[in-house]
Structure 1
Amino acid sequence: MDAGCRMHNTDLEEVTPEALHEVISNYEKVMELTAEFTSFTQCRAVIIMGSPSDQGHAEKIAASCRLYGITPILRISSAHKATSTTLDIMSEYEADEIPTVIIAVAGLSNGLGPVLSGNSTLPVWFMVYSSFPQLKCFVVIEKVINCPPVTDSNIMLDMWSSIRMPSGIGCATVIGADESALCAAKLFASQDHMIFGKILTHQLNNLIKLLNNHLTCK
């Protein structure tokens, strides 16, 4: 076997100090070659809540983001009651070069996401939040301002204001905290290979579960 290929002590014909030194040297070469293969993920999700009452759901989003290596940052600000403060918070994250997605979590009226999106070049996820768990959803908003008076009694109607947009807007709806984190991860995947790999792992785990369930049903 070629000396440069002997990377493991089981490949050695005889264990000697020289041979061990060769193994160490080869591992050091591999370490140098792969030093830049992996890096710490710097992508972040800024989760802005309209009020403290939204924190429980925001924490679920943050936990899902961490699974993909996305750094979550939780902030609280009302676009209706403190618009300038909300925009100031957003500007903090536009000033650097860290890839950022804004996730807006707001109850009742869906003003937070549209205000952020209408005044930012960052991708914004807007959450329509109510006391009905099945109606928690995220809407990707770009350059949109909408302020529907959403309540628990009319959310099935008013949610359309976050879905049915004028031409040229482009809005998508995603249900659930886990799914919103996955979508944020996919936004980052094209520029962060670590997140890309975590998404592939997530998809592989889904496939394994399906195959195991299929075998169980036989």
Structure 2
Amino acid sequence: MENKIVIIMGSESDKDFVKKIEDELISMGVKYEKKVASAHKTPALVLKMIGEYDRKFDNVVYITVAGLSNGLSGIVAANTKNPVIACPPLNDRNYLIDVHSTLRMPSKVPSMCVLNPKNAALAAVRILALTDKNLKEKI
């Protein structure tokens, strides 16, 4: 059984925030992949990536990083049967708007929201550890 954590960020401008997630995964020795794709500008690419990961791996946990209008978490959650953790890169100016955009998803679009990037990484690892004893030992 092969598991994978996939970080999808909405744009390159999210890379500094994503590094905090990566650092936590690296500190636990957990493999992951990182991609850039915008749900608003390149939705076909997002859908293609989800399909490829869902076919290739037994279990995938997606961590989506998108600010402003968070369409990324919704499009991923609506098109996979795997867990999606939204971790919006928050700033003081748009904090409430970004959180609201992440929390208000339509029915049958289950995206979890974890605001702290290190906790988002840990949550993803714990989800995969439910079926992976080696991963559970790293927690």
TM-score, normalising length from structure 2?
A: 0.85
For the 8 Å contact 2:64–2:84, the answer to whether it is kept is yes
Aligned equivalents of 2:4, 2:75: Cα separation in 1: 20
Q: Which amino acid aligns with 1:90?
A: I
Q: 1:174 corresponds to which residue?
A: 114
For the 8 Å contact 1:50–1:112, the answer to whether it is kept is yes
Cα distance in 2 for partners of 1:112, 1:80 equals: 8
Distance in 1 of aligned mates of 2:108 and 2:75: 17
Q: Which residue number in structure 2 is paired with residue 60 of structure 1?
A: 20
The amino acid that maps onto 2:129 is A
Distance 1:86-1:169 versus aligned 2 partners, 3 A rule? closer
2:132 is the counterpart of 1:192: yes
Pairwise CA distance, 1:92: 1.2
Show the counterpart of 2:9.
Answer: 49
Match of 2:75 among 115, 118, 126: 115
- Cα distance in 2 for partners of 1:168, 1:116 equals 12
Return the letter of the residue paired with 2:113.
T
Q: Which amino acid aligns with 1:179?
A: N
The aligned amino acid for 1:195 is: L
Residue 103 of structure 1 aligns to a residue whose secondary structure is strand
Larger Rg over CA atoms: 1
Alignment of 1:85-96 (within 5 A): 85-96=45-56
Q: How far off is 1:129 after superposition?
A: 1.9
Q: TM (normalized to structure 1)?
A: 0.56
Q: Is the 8 A contact 1:49 1:58 kept in 2?
A: yes
Deviation per residue, 1:32-90 (Å, 9 max, x gap) = xxxxxxxxx94321111111010111122122123333211111111001111111111
Q: Deviations over 1:164-189 (max 9, x none)?
A: 55677665432311111111111011
CA RMSD of aligned residues (A): 2.3
Question: Higher relative CO (CA 8 A, sep ≥ 6), structure 1 or 2?
Answer: 2
* Equivalent in the alignment of 1:163: 103
Matched, 1:71 2:53: no
CA distance in 2: counterparts of 1:101 and 1:157, whole angstroms = 25
Which residue does 1:26 correspond to in 2? none
For residues 30-49 of structure 1, what are the structure 2 equivalents within 5 Å? 42-49=2-9
Aligned length: 139
